Amino acid sequence: MTVATETIRFLLCKLADEHYGLPMEVVREVIRWRLPTPIPGTPITVLGMLHHRGAILPVIDVRSLLGIGRPAPGRSSRIIVVEHNAIHAGIVGDAVADIVERDDRVTEPLPSSLPPAQAHYLTGLIVHEEQPVALLDLEAVFAAITASNDAG
C-alpha cells in the first residue's frame, strides 16, 4: 500500500537569532520594514497599523508571544503579509531567509522540554540545513491577540 504524501512549502524567517517557518499558503507577500502607526489600547504584540495596497494591516510582533528578544529594526527587517481565516496582517521578521519544500510527513513534534507558553504558538518542527525550524501557528497567534484585545 502506498501512502500519498503532499509537498508543503514554508517561508523561513528569522526572529531574533532563530528561524521560524510560515506555510506559504498563508503568505501573500513580503515587504520592506516600515514603521507602523501606533494605535493606543492595542495589545503589546500589535506594533501598530500600516496602510498597504488600499488596506489597513495590523502589524504583529510574535516575538513578544514567544518570549524572545526584540532587536531594533534593521536593513534586513521585513513585514510578512499573511492571510489566515479571512484575517490579513503583517508579521514582523528580522529577516526572510528562504522558501523550503518538505514532505508533509517530515514535520516533527515539538520537544516536551519547550515551555508551554512558547509551544502554544507553534505547530511542530522541520529541519533545514541540519537546524530545527519551529513552525508558527497563526491561528493561536491571532486568537491570543483577539483574547488580549477583548480583555483590555
Judged against a pLDDT cut of 70, whether residue 118 lies above it is answered with yes
Q: What is the DSSP string of 14-78?
A: EETTEEEEEETTTEEEEEE--PPBP-TT--TTEEEEEEETTEEEEEE-THHHHT---PPP-TT-E
- Which pLDDT belongs to residue 117? 87
Q: Are 126 and 21 in contact (CB under 8 A)?
A: yes
- Which pLDDT belongs to residue 2? 59
Which three cell numbers, joined as nine digits, stand for 41?
489600547
Judged against a pLDDT cut of 60, whether residue 1 lies above it is answered with no
- Which pLDDT belongs to residue 69? 81
Judged against a pLDDT cut of 90, whether residue 35 lies above it is answered with yes
Judged against a pLDDT cut of 60, whether residue 57 lies above it is answered with yes
Q: Amino acid letter at 24?
A: M
All structural domains of the chain: 8-101+108-151 (2.40.50.180)
> Torsion angle of alpha carbons 46, 47, 52, 55, nearest 10°?
30
- In whole angstroms, give the CA distance from residue 130 to residue 89: 31
pTM over 0.95: no
- In whole angstroms, give the CA distance from residue 1 to residue 4: 10
Mean pLDDT of 68-74: 85
pLDDT tens digit string along 22-32? 999 999 999 99
Q: Residue 150: which pLDDT band, with cuts at 50, 70 and 90?
A: low
Which three cell numbers, joined as nine digits, stand for 102?
518538505
Q: Are 13 and 80 in contact (CB under 8 A)?
A: yes
Residues 6+ apart with CB under 8 A from 133: 10, 12, 19, 20, 21, 125, 126, 127
Query: Which of 54-63, 65-74, 103-112 shows the lowest mean pLDDT across its residues?
Result: 103-112
